[in-house]
Amino acid sequence: MTNHPVAFAFLLAVISGFHGLFKWNDAPNPVPVWWSIDAHPIYYLPRWFGFSLLPVLMVVIPYILHVFACYDSKIKIQSGEPKHAVAHLINLPALFLFVVHNFIILDAFVSQTGDISPRFLVATIALWLLIWAGYNFQYVTPNYTIGLLTPWTVRSQQSWTKTHNHSAWILMVFGLALLICAFYVPTGVPLLVVTLVLWLGSYLYLFIYSAIVFESETSRDTTEPLLATEA
């Protein structure tokens, strides 16, 4: 692994910091940091905290993932498309938080009401945490750090491969459906329920799917050597 993922995340954090400086004087003190289902602010913290929280997380989360990946022997030997997919997934939290911070949170800070845009937030979840994640998962080869890690994918080559290949179209289809719903489902409880069902439901489905594949392969006694025992 290289330092490129963390360097890119750091660049996004720096850009976010400068963007925040331009809006600093236009924001009240304190600023909203939590919103209701109807997108109205309900909890406030000091301005410095609100402006710095997500930029800091843009660096911290990818850095932690990168550190774990550096100690994963199965990631070290990856090259080509799998290596790029791992780097993209390490960057994914930073990219998601970058969009949320710069195009949703900062706008809420300087608005008169402090409300956020729930439709834009849901669309961001669909694009990054479903569609982009699903596209990259299909290329990740077995490892212990980056990917759809379940009790079965880390034990079986077949479960890992089939689950990750299956995730490509499952997450992208669910993401496209959520993206459409973001602009048509009424905000509030209906949009929240749809988001949870399509977003978390898609990952729950893949979790169950990995178990089904593992049990199926085990019952046929065709499961390849467990990842934990591979050389």
Q: DSSP strand E in 15-136: where?
A: 31-35, 41-45
- CA triple 153-157-159, angle to 5 deg: 45
How do residues 171-214 score in pLDDT, each as one tens digit?
A: 999 999 999 999 999 999 999 999 999 999 999 999 999 999 99
Q: What is the pLDDT, as a whole number, of residue 224?
A: 54
Query: What's the pTM value of the predicted model, to 2 decimals?
Result: 0.89
> What pLDDT is attached to residue 207?
96
Residues of the chain with pLDDT under 50: 1-3, 226, 228-231
